[in-house]
Amino acid sequence: MAFSDPIIFIILCLAGAVAGFLNVLAGGGSALTIPIMIFLGFDATVANGSNRIAIQVEALTAVAAFKKQQHADFPLSLKLSLMTLPGGILGAFFAVKIDDALFTKILGFVMILIVVSLMIPKSELIAHAKQHKWTNWLAWPVMFVVGFYGGFIQAGVGFVIMAALLHLYRMDLVKINMHKVFIVMVFTVPAVIAFIVTDNVNWFAAIALSLGMIAGTLLAVKLAITKGEKIVRLVLAVSLLIISVKLFLL
Statement: residue 232 has pLDDT above 70:
no
Count: domains in the chain: 1
Q: In this predicted model, what pLDDT tens digit does every residue of 169-205 receive, in sequence order?
A: 877 777 888 899 899 999 899 889 999 999 999 999 9
Q: In this predicted model, what pLDDT tens digit does every residue of 207-221 receive, in sequence order?
A: 999 999 999 999 888
Rounded CA-CA distance 250/247 in Å is: 5
What residue numbers bound the domain in which 244 lies?
A: 6-249
Rounded CA-CA distance 109/86 in Å is: 23
Q: Determine the average pLDDT of the residues in 33-44.
A: 84
End-to-end CA distance of the chain: 26
Rounded CA-CA distance 113/117 in Å is: 6
Statement: residue 129 has pLDDT above 50:
no
Residue that wins the pLDDT comparison between 227 and 40 = 40
Q: Does residue 13 form part of some domain?
A: yes
List the helix and strand counts (H, then E) for the chain. 11, 0
Q: Does residue 155 form part of some domain?
A: yes
pLDDT, averaged across the chain: 80
What is the per-residue pLDDT for 236?
62
Q: Tell me what percent of the residues of the chain surpass a pLDDT of 90.
A: 28
Q: Does residue 1 form part of some domain?
A: no
What is the per-residue pLDDT for 23?
82
Rounded CA-CA distance 149/171 in Å is: 22
Query: Which pLDDT band, with edges at 50, 70 and 90, does 158 fall under?
Result: confident
What is the per-residue pLDDT for 115?
61
